[in-house]
Amino acid sequence: VSLETALAGALEGGPVLTDPALTASYETDWTGAFSGRARCVVSPATADAVGRVLRVCASYGVGVVVQGGNTGLVGGSVPGGGEVVLSTRKLCGLGPVDPVARQVTAGAGVPLAQVQRAARGAGLSYGIDFAARDSATIGGTVATNAGGVRVLAHGTTRAQVLGVEAVLADGSVLRRLGGLAKDATGYDLAALLTGSEGTLAVLTAVRLRLLPPDPPLQTALVGLAGLAEGLVVLSRVPDLHAAEVMDRAGVSLVCAVAGLAEPLPAVHPAYLLIEAPDLAALADLAGPGELDAVVAADGADRARLWAYRERHSEAIATRGVPVKLDVALPLAALPAFAAELPGVLAAGTRRVVFGHLGDGNLHVNLLGAAPSDADAVLRLVAACGGSIGAEHGVGRAKVSWLHLSRSPAEIAAMRAVKAALDPGGLLNPGVLLPT
């Protein structure tokens, strides 16, 4: 029988999409930068069905690409060409919130925003948030160890994951959703799978830690002479919950595209959006007039200030398909990196840099980039002791630069783990590890 017929059997009659009109939306990522043909698209609804799908694909020797909300930025969830796309959209069960243990179990295909709403409904909060919250799935956030705007206070996705249900390439199901706060009975397979970008197993559900709601936060937008001044703010304002940095190019672009007014009376080389329970220390940082800053007066004002940050991606997209680089640097190396960045880019390249200053995480967006630009930026990152991938992952986009951030010994160890759990190289071939 054909692969498609065998898959239909594995899905007990569920659809196997092959019509290009139906598969097209699974074959290109939302930025338009990555695309590849799918052999077909399947949407199993249970872990057992995922296991049957994987066994069929293994027996036919066809690779499998896992796709959640398809909001990734490194091409990790679209086919390289000819794989079966396994969509997690039917793995959409969301369990009840346990208010005592402060936990919830979510299917891999549940959107991030739905988990956030469920937490709020129980008087709690989920530790991860970013702009793609309505489309990005929990499974995708775990597979990429997603970060976002709350990492400074609550850690990355790895810190929220208490357990997983996942299916290995041989179809066997790992299920550990009990949510025990302590469990020292061997290797933490959940921690290993978190951030593995679908190359070790297909995540089908996760047990998540929930948090008490944040205390009331004050929000301020501060004009900066540069990143060094931002680091001073970081070191002086206690208990920061957010510290988002933007350069002048990005704020100008957002103002133009979104029709927003300039955020501050003066124009600055950079801007820092901060949140903390108490911003009194900000006033102590400089004498009157020395720091150009505005503190949000109310919730509407807070949303107004956040718009400068959250509308960056859409504003940039109006100017073309950018090269998106997502890098992390040691805090102390940030000013040197920013100073050297213009010098490594081709003359005509326009750059918009923003990101999460408190985590040392910058999003370097390049418009009209020369072919050499990405390589030059990532080599500069490595020379500064940084990482070529901070929160978007490696995917297909960064795989040829993995060696800049990982030693041969580390890559060999990763290959050994990959071969142990997916000996046939079935899962997300071409993603993360060079083939």
Q: Cβ neighbours of residue 394 under 8 Å, at least 6 residues apart?
A: 74, 76, 197, 388, 402, 431, 432
Q: Which positions from 186 to 225 touch its own copies by CB under 8 A, shown as an x/- string?
A: xxxx-xx-xxx---x-----------x-------------
Residue 17's beta-bridge partner residues?
Answer: 41
Site for its own copies contains 386 (CB under 8 A): yes
Interaction residues for its own copies, span 329-358 (CB under 8 A): 329-332, 356, 358
User: From the CB of 22, what's the least distance to its own copies, in Å?
Assistant: 31
Binding test (CB under 8 A) with its own copies, winner from 37, 379, 402, 425: 402
Binding test (CB under 8 A) with its own copies, winner from 21, 182, 299, 343: 182
Interaction residues for its own copies, span 150-179 (CB under 8 A): 151, 155-156, 158-159, 168, 172-176, 178-179
Q: Which stretch binds its own copies (CB under 8 A): 60-68, 228-236, 278-286, 294-302?
A: 228-236
Interaction residues for its own copies, span 127-146 (CB under 8 A): 144-145
Interaction residues for its own copies, span 237-296 (CB under 8 A): 238-239
Interaction residues for its own copies, span 406-425 (CB under 8 A): 406-407, 409-414, 416-417, 419-421
Site for its own copies contains 385 (CB under 8 A): yes
User: From the CB of 19, what's the least distance to its own copies, in Å?
Assistant: 35
User: From the CB of 47, what's the least distance to its own copies, in Å?
Assistant: 11
- Decide whether 100 or 347 has the Cβ nearer to its own copies: 100
Give me 2's structure tokens: 């054909």
How many residues interact with its own copies (rule CB under 8 A)? 79
Residue 279 is classified by DSSP as -
Distance between terminal CA atoms of the chain? 30
Binding test (CB under 8 A) with its own copies, winner from 75, 140, 147, 429: 147
Considering only CA atoms, give the Rg of the chain: 22
> CA nearest 67: which of 97, 109, 126, 5?
109
Say how far apart CA 338 and CA 78 lie, in whole Å. Answer: 32
User: If you count them, how many residues does the chain have?
Assistant: 435
- Decide whether 100 or 261 has the Cβ nearer to its own copies: 100
> Hey, CA dihedral for 226, 127, 92, 79, is it positive or negative?
positive
Site for its own copies contains 105 (CB under 8 A): no
Binding test (CB under 8 A) with its own copies, winner from 19, 21, 100, 347: 100
Q: Does an H or E element contain 301, and which?
A: helix 299-310
Give me 58's structure tokens: 């293994």
Q: Which stretch binds its own copies (CB under 8 A): 270-278, 307-315, 364-372, 391-399?
A: 391-399
Q: What's at 353, amino acid-wise?
A: V
User: From the CB of 17, what's the least distance to its own copies, in Å?
Assistant: 30
Interaction residues for its own copies, span 12-51 (CB under 8 A): none
Asked whether the beta carbons of 147 and 133 are under 8 A apart, the reply is: no
Say how far apart CA 386 and CA 130 lie, in whole Å. Answer: 22
Our CA angle for 115, 151, 398, nearest 5°, is 95
Site for its own copies contains 96 (CB under 8 A): no
204-to-49, 67, 163, 370, 428 alpha-carbon distances in Å: 10, 11, 11, 40, 15
User: From the CB of 162, what's the least distance to its own copies, in Å?
Assistant: 11
Binding test (CB under 8 A) with its own copies, winner from 63, 107, 163, 389: 389
- Decide whether 5 or 400 has the Cβ nearer to its own copies: 400
- Decide whether 23 or 46 has the Cβ nearer to its own copies: 46
Residue 84's beta-bridge partner residues?
Answer: 40, 64
- Residue indicated by tokens 């004050």: 218
User: From the CB of 346, what's the least distance to its own copies, in Å?
Assistant: 25
Asked whether the beta carbons of 293 and 285 are under 8 A apart, the reply is: no
Say how far apart CA 273 and CA 294 lie, in whole Å. Answer: 10
- Decide whether 300 or 420 has the Cβ nearer to its own copies: 420
